[in-house]
């Protein structure tokens, strides 16, 4: 259980992957520890995780670290429980329905942001500049989340500034829950308040535009909230809209940025996969980067989907989650005491699932119709979690990653600097410690060519 009070928190935060690997090797897929101020049971394995995830409201309830709870507030979907959580999640799922994504032209908007960013990378690389891919992915996903989902038209400079401020929130979201000047919680809340002030100004502008009839013809989460009422019939308050927007920006740029960086890394180090991807695009007349994408053309690319799924298997942006035991219950032959935190590991479950062949290899074809390895036991593949708290925005995340996959393959080539020496840091989301410096080159492909 580690040292008094702090337990094993230092080892956990310093090198999360090593923390889990060494303890799993010694104790197995279920072990106890003391991290982030709480006695904790680590749980991995499909059947064990299934017990935890499907035990929501009965065996377990949400239990994120206190610091993250203070940052996001009680109104956040991730921090709510019971009827409030069910209602908030239903509302969010309604917004992310396929017809909303199609009708509101989200694919066009995402493609424009992605292509603009790729073009800027290629232009900068021509001048001899290394692109720090992870940093750039965060800025790209921040602009997509802000513009497409909230109607905030951030400029590149604003995105750079705000993602830098957001980094303080992210870096200290799992810090020890003590508040004093200079502490992790203090830094995170200070950064949050700066971002919240920017959000409040935009919300007030939106409300003013609505009243004057000058609101842009774009339906977003805030428009959705302004049109809806709470179960008691009341309208959402400005504070509630502000914190909902903050939570969305928090989740919808950091997690997709991690996945986007991993996607670029895997494609850049597996030329055979990239070649096959371009062949699929050619077969569907999508290899020309001038061709505008739409929802249905993106969704009918099976190999694109397989690449995204394999990226999320090897490098899930959310590596696990926290719950609290509502009562004593058994998992994998062990008794979990009431009140203890349960930390379930998606990453560990993916990497040790027997259903996957050569599990540490990047092999998108494990998800094709013939092999369909993920269908053998659905609890072995959980990149978006499971049960009542499955990620409500997964459809938007998937379409964004598919668009990035297509745009990358058909508009540029790239070279990762020192690809064999990339060290991955797992917290707060998986990302290269070095940021993954790379060079990008603009490239167009002859549709009649069979070599790429």
pLDDT tens profile 321-346: 889 999 999 999 999 999 999 999 88
CA 198: distance to chain centroid? 23
CB-based contact 331:389 (threshold 8 Å): no
What tokens does 397 get? 């995340």
Which residue ranges of the chain lie beneath pLDDT 50? Answer: none
Determine, yes or no, domain membership for 447. no
Determine, yes or no, domain membership for 379. yes
- Count of domains observed in the chain: 1
State the pLDDT at residue 449.
Answer: 52
State the pLDDT at residue 309.
Answer: 97
Beta bridge partners of 414: 440
Scored b (16 or more CB within 10 A) or e, 276-302 reads bbbbbbbeeebbebeeebebeebeebe
State the pLDDT at residue 450.
Answer: 52
**Short-list 189, 143, 154, 196, CA closest to 169:** 189
Determine, yes or no, domain membership for 368. yes
Determine, yes or no, domain membership for 207. yes
State the pLDDT at residue 128.
Answer: 85
State the pLDDT at residue 10.
Answer: 85
CA distance 71 to 256: 20
State the pLDDT at residue 217.
Answer: 67
State the pLDDT at residue 92.
Answer: 84
Beta bridge partners of 440: 414
CB-based contact 168:190 (threshold 8 Å): yes
Determine, yes or no, domain membership for 385. yes
State the pLDDT at residue 438.
Answer: 96
168 SS3 class: helix
Q: What is the pLDDT of residues 99-155, one digit of tens each?
A: 888 888 899 999 999 999 999 999 999 988 999 999 999 999 999 999 988 988 888
CA distance 445 to 177: 53
State the pLDDT at residue 452.
Answer: 54
CB-based contact 140:257 (threshold 8 Å): yes
Range of the domain at 223: 9-442
CA distance 172 to 89: 26
State the pLDDT at residue 448.
Answer: 54
Determine, yes or no, domain membership for 449. no
CA distance 71 to 254: 15
CATH number, domain of 405, equals 1.10.630.10
CA distance 303 to 437: 27
CB-based contact 137:260 (threshold 8 Å): yes
Determine, yes or no, domain membership for 416. yes
State the pLDDT at residue 266.
Answer: 97
Determine, yes or no, domain membership for 451. no
CB-based contact 252:318 (threshold 8 Å): no
- The 8-class DSSP code of residue 148 comes to I
State the pLDDT at residue 451.
Answer: 54
224 burial via Cβ count (<10 Å: 0-12, 13-18, 19+):
middle
């Amino acid at each position: 259980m580690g040292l008094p009070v702090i337990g094993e928190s230092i080892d956990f935060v310093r090198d999360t992957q090593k923390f889990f690997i060494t303890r799993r090797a010694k104790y197995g897929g279920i072990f106890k520890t003391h991290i982030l101020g709480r006695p904790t049971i680590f749980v991995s394995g499909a059947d064990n995780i299934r017990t935890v995830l499907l035990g929501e409201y009965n065996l377990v309830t949400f239990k994120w670290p206190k610091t993250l709870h203070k940052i996001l507030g009680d109104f956040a979907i991730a921090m709510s429980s019971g009827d409030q959580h069910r209602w908030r999640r239903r509302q969010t799922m309604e917004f992310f329905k396929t017809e909303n994504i199609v009708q509101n032209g989200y694919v066009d908007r995402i493609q424009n942001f992605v292509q603009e960013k790729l073009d800027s990378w290629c232009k900068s690389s021509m001048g001899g500049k290394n692109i720090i891919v992870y940093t750039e992915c965060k800025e790209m996903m921040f602009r997509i989340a802000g513009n497409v989902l909230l109607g905030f038209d951030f400029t590149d400079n604003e995105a750079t500034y705000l993602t830098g401020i957001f980094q303080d929130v992210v870096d200290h979201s799992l810090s020890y829950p003590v508040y004093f000047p200079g502490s992790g919680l203090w830094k995170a809340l200070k950064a949050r308040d700066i971002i919240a002030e920017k959000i409040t100004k935009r919300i007030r502008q939106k409300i003013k535009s609505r009243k004057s009839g000058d609101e842009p013809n774009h339906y977003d989460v805030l428009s959705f909230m302004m049109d809806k009422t709470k179960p008691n019939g009341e309208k959402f308050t400005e504070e509630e809209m502000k914190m909902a927007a903050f939570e969305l920006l928090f989740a919808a740029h950091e997690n997709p940025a991690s996945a986007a960086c991993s996607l670029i890394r895997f494609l850049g180090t597996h030329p055979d996969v990239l070649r096959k991807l371009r062949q699929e695009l050619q077969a569907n007349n999508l290899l020309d980067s001038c061709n505008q994408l739409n929802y249905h053309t993106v969704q009918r690319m099976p190999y694109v989907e397989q690449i995204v799924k394999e990226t999320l298997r090897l490098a899930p942006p959310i590596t696990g989650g926290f719950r609290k035991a509502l009562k004593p219950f058994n998992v994998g032959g062990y008794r979990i005491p009431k009140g203890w935190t349960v930390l379930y590991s998606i990453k560990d479950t993916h990497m040790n699932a027997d259903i996957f062949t050569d599990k540490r290899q990047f092999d998108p074809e494990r998800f094709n119709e013939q092999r369909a390895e993920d269908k053998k036991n659905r609890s072995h593949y959980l990149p978006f979690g499971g049960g009542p708290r499955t990620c409500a925005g997964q459809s938007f995340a998937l379409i964004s990653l598919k668009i990035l996959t297509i745009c990358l393959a058909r508009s540029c080539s790239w070279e990762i600097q020192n690809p064999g020496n990339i060290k991955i840091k797992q917290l707060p989301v998986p990302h290269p410690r070095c940021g993954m410096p790379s060079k990008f080159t603009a490239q167009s492909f002859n549709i009649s060519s069979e070599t790429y």
